[in-house]
Structure 1
Amino acid sequence: MKNQHMITGMEVKTSEDHLKVCKMKKKVLRKQIRAQHTLMRHEGIECISHATQSLVIANAGLGNGMSRHQLLRIVEEYGLVETLLMPPNKPYSFVKYGTTEEAKKAFDALNGKEVTLEDFDQNIVLYVNFVEKVLWQNVVPTSLPPGLMIIEKIISPEEERRMLESIDWTGDEDTRNAQKTLKYRRVKHFGYEFCYDNNNVDKDKPLPGGLPEICNLLLDKWLKQGYIKHKPDQLTVNQYEPGQGIPPHIDTHSAFEDEIISLSLGAKIVMDFKHPDGHTVAVMLPRCSLLVMAGESRYLWTHGITPRKYDVIQASELGQKVRKITADVGDLTLNRRETRTSFTFRKVRRSPCNCIYPSVCDSQKGQQRQEQPSFPHSQMEALKLEQEYVHKVYEEIAIHFSSTRHSPWPRIVEFLRSLPKGSIVADVGCGNGKYLGINKDLYMVGCDRSKNLVDICGEKNFQAFVCDALSVPILSGSCDACISIAVIHHFSTAERRLATIRELVRLLRPGGTALIYVWAMEQEYKNQKSKYLKEKNGSEDKEEEIDSGTAQRPLCDPMPDSSSQVLARSDQPLNDSKDESCDAKPVADSRLPVHTNRTSFHSQDLLVPWHLKGGTKKKGEGVDTVLLPAGSKESQELTPVFHRYYHVFCEGELEAACRTLDCVRVQKSYYDQGNWCVVLEKL
């Protein structure tokens, strides 16, 4: 009897264990499928159900703290690894095995496997899927910003030691050399003190003692060698501990001359450079190297150091073995930061700056206001404003603009894929047509005011034609659905914005639906910053703006200091918007203010700069010539800056405009990463 009870108990226990195992397998499968969908939705990585030699491993990426050497040890347990590719700042990696059987073995063993990140002492869970091949197309070699130069090994180890010893950090606050301890680093000034309250120097108050003697000797040497063009008279020494950095900034134009140089001592570092159009370049500054910034890289690009304890660098820089790896990004790994000291030399400016980048020049900003256009007070003024600051501008920037508009937004894709098969859909203001091919089961046609953008649609074999959104040559009631993405905010009066919505409704059949997106005044909503504001701090490295595809959420945060999980994301819609007024300042004396990119909006009606990349200015054809010095040769040849008119919408404003139409019912309104959005139905 006793043995019988023991056997029965063992059977029960075995059954319970089996049940737990089954539940665990189901949970892992659920999360694996969820990871698969997330990869496809946000990264365009198509996972497949049948076994191949290649795998994508979610949560095992540089972006969430997995180092190359640790991942290589993990995956090598299951067979010969032909390729290991770790894209920068991404929370996943690709691995290709010598045989399908080896890949299948790794697939079975690693799915749901919990591992501890060696460098962070944090646990993550791996989720694995098969892919057809290991390929990462989005990363291409990037060139340095124009005017940027790096000279490696410019000083000897002995000179490095002497320079570091010349700075005494042990004493109290040093008034003679203006030593300070800032929030993120220790700082010492020589020659002139840089005042952080106004980001400038007092040119009439030089510090006693000048620059350290060893610095003068090196500067004279570099001047003779041709590395620098003039001898600096101001020095800022920054000391960074691991995890410290400096926010993105441009050295004040009125404070210093063109050339700025920085010597990196003690350790290497990655410095991030960012163009106003959103393009970013991560530049490795080796130990004992000299960074020289001049021209565009000094005046137009921001530079900064992201606060973190690790940088993504080439594995070959650490002497690690690289095997049969795809070029460009295959040999990336994480490098632990060490204490770094930078010597940044500058020459104090004695006259106002007259550079060709007035949009970011404090010396010239006062000159812009006189020629800025006024807010329109009549139909004719509105037409003229839109012609000059919308239509002509998009014709000029079409190619560059299109190059930054390539990733469809998830919720717009969701709307298009929810439509019945065979639906006729009009994309009014289609731009380069990135939504025209989303759903092959729809009959989609696009239209746009810009001929050059419509031509780009034609090159992609999309159906599109040129017209104004106020008058679309399509029969009334012939469309099952319409979309208007980032268009209506370019109309300069409330009457014209409402007329555009009315035209969309005219195209719809009864029961048809329209989806409308416009820029939002509120770039911080429900305690969350939009992608547009986040990019100010360099947290993402995309070029697009708030009406672009890259505002969708990444799989996980790209910071190596935290271990974000690919499956911890939520995509819940926000509640419907309330009809509330926003805190927008009126336009002073009717002049339209020029917005500073990647900052909050302070006026509903404004001009937003576009820095044209890879183009030339055509005089008098839609370029906001106020931004370029009149008559200068450079103004005709270098980096034109265009201004686009926008009316940014307050919460509830778009919905309220739709509700004024009797034949419309608002199905849904929501906020999507810096845009107000409405889905309406024609009654």
Structure 2
Amino acid sequence: MDTNHQSNIKLSKTKKKFLRKQIKARNTLLRHEGIEAVSYATQSLVVANGGLGNSVSRKQLLPVLEKCGLVEALLMPPNKPYSFVRYTTTEESRKAYVTLNGKEIVDDLGQKIILYLNFVEKAQWKEMGLQPLPPGLMVVEEIISSEDEKMLLESIIWTEDTDNQNFQKSLKHRRVKHFGYEFHYENNNVDKDKPLPGGLPDICDSILEKWLKKGYIKHKPDQLTVNQYEPGHGIPPHIDTHSAFEDEIVSLSLGSEIVMDFKHPDGVTVQVMLPRRSLLVMTGESRYLWTHGITPRKFDTVQASEHYKSGIITSDIGDLTLNKRGIRTSFTFRKVRHTPCNCSYSSVCDSQRKETPPSFPESDKEASQLEQEYVHRVYEEIAGHFSSTRHTPWPRIVEFLKALPSGSIVADIGCGNGKYLGINKELYMIGCDRSQSLVDICREKQLQAFVCDALAIPVRSGSCDACISIAVIHHFSTAGRRVAALQELVRLLRPGGKALIYVWAMEQEYNNQKSKYLKENRISQGKKEISDTSMQGQLVEQMPDANSQDSAASVPSIQEGGCNSRKVTNSELPIHTNRTTFHSQDVLVPWHLKGNLGKDKPVEPFGPIRSHDPGSVFHRYYHVFCDGELEAACQTLSNVSILQSYYDQGNWCVILQKI
């Protein structure tokens, strides 16, 4: 009797646990994908965890579903961890709901996952229109025979080449050999004055001659890079430097097929299938304007139809499945250019681009433009890498949040990747940020966050018990805009509510407190130099407001602040040298994207942020605060009192209270 009772209790707990997870899956789909489940039986079901995005293929899922009835359609959206199934009758879908809910299956990676099903009125997904191939891009299938493929693969000896280290490089994610000239991944260029001995392998001559005769290439290449990719490896999106090579760049895929991603600067992405023994030819716009890269993953989303070989991966979610990657070897041929590039894309051409460094803004309009270019656009570009360096909460910020009463409503303005949103589970926290990419990261963590302008936050006045603004205000480029951001924080607070504000300090060593920012960089090779240890938030775009017109001189008591710094009003903004003391309050601070790891690499010129410059140095605008400057700015507000002011590891910090 006792044993049966214990078994019943165990079953009851298991059922409750399953129901909780099913409800959680339903709520997650609604919150993140807009998929609304219904409480009554229909012909259609949404299958959570059963999608291409979490390594479940059509071939694997369909037989499981067909055991419950005749499947009219299995719709699998690309890169999504769910799918939709439609049965011929409601009875069949009800059987699937009962039978398969909580069913454990093994995905294509050999990992166990559990399916959670819910009824839906109809399949819902964000339809992506079919994009044409980027202009100038061509894929030629079966360009060589299987015999030639075997000879080419056997000609590359991947043993350690101790005598000629320039020929072979072991990179983090792949093996590489160079012929003719060494390709430098840090700048996507070659040293034209240092050709490698031996030229290209003789085995390539007859193949290149055929391509010349057929018109696939116009120049005989003199540089070859051979990459070997294991499943799960890839290469970052990039554009080969314009001035380095002639127009055409061609890549031969051997050993296995792959999906390559092409992205236009306006955000349009096209996925192109490169079959085994196919030749990718990039000329014109596809060569000079679109980035190309391979996403690191072990499976590619491809068309399920057997007749489909190459071209664009369509949005036909009724015909998508997963294809397991094999070992792929690519032969990429280029012709080194010895004259400046004169392409039609002068705005992104290193031979033609003429740029001037930004100057300190003289008007609110100029300030908004400066922040848009050197704050907002930068964080959109570096969001993923930035988030990967932001994981450890600062103790005094945690202390502030944990001291708040249970049930407090708290807003994190400039929340970045949401590092502080889940610190105190007893609080109701919401976050906002100007960067859509950072907000997306928050949502992936199931945190409450939205995109907005920190100078016009769409939250009711007096509705928050507390606010935090961590490393945000220093991204505003005039004193008036910084004060306006502080006023907006205070507007959200109820009377008696508190706000914690952190900004970068001009003084990176204060009262013998050595800033982490100045610590010697001892990060191991393969990791990026973190140039802004104290940085957490991301800032927001200013909405035009005639009442906020100002210049640096409009609030002199705040601007002076007692700092011994060079004035930059009406002059070019200096580039700060990372991990050194500040010599100016208004600076551009470099961020080195992953892949550009060396401290001594040259800083790239100013100009538009370009997603197709991997390993680039992105410049972020900062106004670093002097001792007393943040307090002075807060004291210009009529309805606050300063409870505490302190210095914390290179930051000036204030806790204020709304009166």
TM-score of the two chains, using structure 1 as the length reference:
0.60
Name the counterpart of 1:123: 112
Is 1:386–1:490's contact at 8 Å kept on the other side of the alignment? no
| CA separation of 1:510 and 1:375: change in aligned 2, threshold 3 A | same
One of 330, 347, 352 as aligned partner of 2:335: 347
| CA separation of 1:514 and 1:230: change in aligned 2, threshold 3 A | farther
Deviation at 1:232, TM superposition (A): 1.4
Matched, 1:17 2:7: yes
- 1:551-630 to 2 correspondences below 5 Å: 586=582, 609=608
Partner secondary structure for residue 136 of structure 1: coil
Name the counterpart of 1:661: 637
Partner secondary structure for residue 14 of structure 2: helix
| CA separation of 1:100 and 1:58: change in aligned 2, threshold 3 A | same
Q: Give the partner amino acid of 1:386.
A: A
Q: Give the partner amino acid of 1:151.
A: V
Q: What is the alpha-carbon distance in structure 1 between the residues aligned to residue 150 and residue 493 of structure 2?
A: 77
| CA separation of 1:86 and 1:186: change in aligned 2, threshold 3 A | same
TM-score of the two chains, using structure 2 as the length reference:
0.62
Name the counterpart of 1:283: 272
Deviation at 1:610, TM superposition (A): 5.8
Is 2:46–2:83's contact at 8 Å kept on the other side of the alignment? yes
Q: What is the alpha-carbon distance in structure 1 between the residues aligned to residue 225 and residue 628 of structure 2?
A: 49
Deviation at 1:152, TM superposition (A): 2.0
Q: What is the alpha-carbon distance in structure 2 between the residues aligned to residue 489 and residue 39 of structure 1?
A: 37
Is 1:428–1:469's contact at 8 Å kept on the other side of the alignment? no
Matched, 1:27 2:17: yes
| CA separation of 1:588 and 1:312: change in aligned 2, threshold 3 A | farther
Q: What is the alpha-carbon distance in structure 2 between the residues aligned to residue 519 and residue 83 of structure 1?
A: 55
Matched, 1:383 2:399: no
- 1:638-673 deviation line (CA, Å, top 9, x unaligned): xxxxx99955899x9999766873524899xxxxxx
| CA separation of 1:20 and 1:592: change in aligned 2, threshold 3 A | closer
Q: Give the partner amino acid of 1:91.
A: P
Matched, 1:158 2:147: yes
Matched, 1:338 2:326: yes
Q: What is the alpha-carbon distance in structure 1 between the residues aligned to residue 202 and residue 433 of structure 2?
A: 66
Name the counterpart of 2:97: 107
Q: What is the alpha-carbon distance in structure 1 between the residues aligned to residue 192 and residue 133 of structure 2?
A: 32
Deviation at 1:268, TM superposition (A): 0.4
Partner secondary structure for residue 154 of structure 1: coil
More displaced 10-residue stretch of structure 1: 11-20 or 336-345 = 11-20
Q: What is the alpha-carbon distance in structure 1 between the residues aligned to residue 595 and residue 184 of structure 2?
A: 23
Q: What is the alpha-carbon distance in structure 1 between the residues aligned to residue 152 and residue 332 of structure 2?
A: 13
Matched, 1:142 2:131: yes
Q: What is the alpha-carbon distance in structure 1 between the residues aligned to residue 295 and residue 318 of structure 2?
A: 23
Deviation at 1:126, TM superposition (A): 1.5
- 1:568-595 deviation line (CA, Å, top 9, x unaligned): xxxxxxxxxxxxxx97975879775797
Name the counterpart of 1:77: 67
Name the counterpart of 2:283: 294
Partner secondary structure for residue 105 of structure 1: helix
Name the counterpart of 2:190: 201
Is 1:271–1:304's contact at 8 Å kept on the other side of the alignment? yes
One of 25, 46, 54 as aligned partner of 1:56: 46
Q: Give the partner amino acid of 1:131.
A: V
Deviation at 1:164, TM superposition (A): 2.9
Q: What is the alpha-carbon distance in structure 1 between the residues aligned to residue 334 and residue 136 of structure 2?
A: 16
Is 1:276–1:597's contact at 8 Å kept on the other side of the alignment? no
| CA separation of 1:610 and 1:208: change in aligned 2, threshold 3 A | closer
Partner secondary structure for residue 85 of structure 2: strand
Deviation at 1:192, TM superposition (A): 2.2
Name the counterpart of 1:232: 221
Q: What is the alpha-carbon distance in structure 2 between the residues aligned to residue 515 and residue 317 of structure 1?
A: 60
Is 2:86–2:93's contact at 8 Å kept on the other side of the alignment? yes
CA RMSD of the aligned region, Å? 5.5
Q: Give the partner amino acid of 2:302.
A: I
Partner secondary structure for residue 350 of structure 1: coil
Partner secondary structure for residue 264 of structure 1: strand
Is 2:52–2:322's contact at 8 Å kept on the other side of the alignment? yes
Aligned residues: 503
One of 443, 464, 478 as aligned partner of 1:493: 478
Q: What is the alpha-carbon distance in structure 2 between the residues aligned to residue 284 and residue 62 of structure 1?
A: 17
Q: What is the alpha-carbon distance in structure 1 between the residues aligned to residue 64 and residue 619 of structure 2?
A: 51
- 1:180-191 to 2 correspondences below 5 Å: 180-191=169-180
Deviation at 1:153, TM superposition (A): 2.2
Deviation at 1:123, TM superposition (A): 1.3
One of 242, 245, 249 as aligned partner of 1:253: 242
Name the counterpart of 1:625: none
- 1:464-492 deviation line (CA, Å, top 9, x unaligned): xxxx969x9xxxxx966699999978742
| CA separation of 1:648 and 1:387: change in aligned 2, threshold 3 A | closer
Name the counterpart of 2:78: 88
Deviation at 1:29, TM superposition (A): 0.6
Q: What is the alpha-carbon distance in structure 2 between the residues aligned to residue 285 and residue 653 of structure 1?
A: 60
